[in-house]
Amino acid sequence: MCKITLSPKELMKSRYEAFLREDWDYIEKTSLYQKAKDLKDMASIEWVNLEILDFYDDIVEFKAYYKEDASMKVLHEKSSFVKIDKEWKYKDGEIFNSKIHRNQSCPCGSTKKFKKCCY
């Protein structure tokens, strides 16, 4: 059986979808260092939207919007991937101190501004 190899960008999207499903085993399988047992604490997070900002070679920059404790937050990261045995794996990421601005479109997908929606 032939394996389908995902690009770093495709892998980032599939990992985000795994976070939505709380598929911690997939997250561990597609990572060098993340362990399923350590990720289960993230089950209280409600992931809302993924925005890919940039991608090139082995880097994917993204913003992942989520709700925690009834407030909307953003994880802004530049992720690094490595190729091992023809498969890409998440290595690590540089986290940026970003926030959602009141006048930007709400990340939840509504047509409202953030301040009038999920603020």
18-65 tens-digit pLDDT: 999 999 999 999 999 988 888 877 878 899 999 999 999 999 999 999
Measure the CA–CA gap between 37 and 82, rounded to whole angstroms: 22
CATH of the domain at 84: 3.10.450.50
pLDDT per position as a tens digit, 95-107: 999 999 989 999 9
The tokens of 82 are what?
Answer: 């490595």
Structural domain including 51 reads: 8-116
3: pLDDT confidence band, cut at 50, 70 and 90? Answer: low
Q: Is residue 73 part of a domain?
A: yes
Phi, psi dihedral angles at 56 (to 5 degrees) = -165, 145
Bridge partners, residue 67, by sequence: 46, 72
pLDDT at 2 > cutoff 60: no
Residue 3 forms part of a structural domain: no
Element (H, E) at 91: strand 87-96
CA–CA gap between residue 100 and residue 35 (Å, rounded): 29
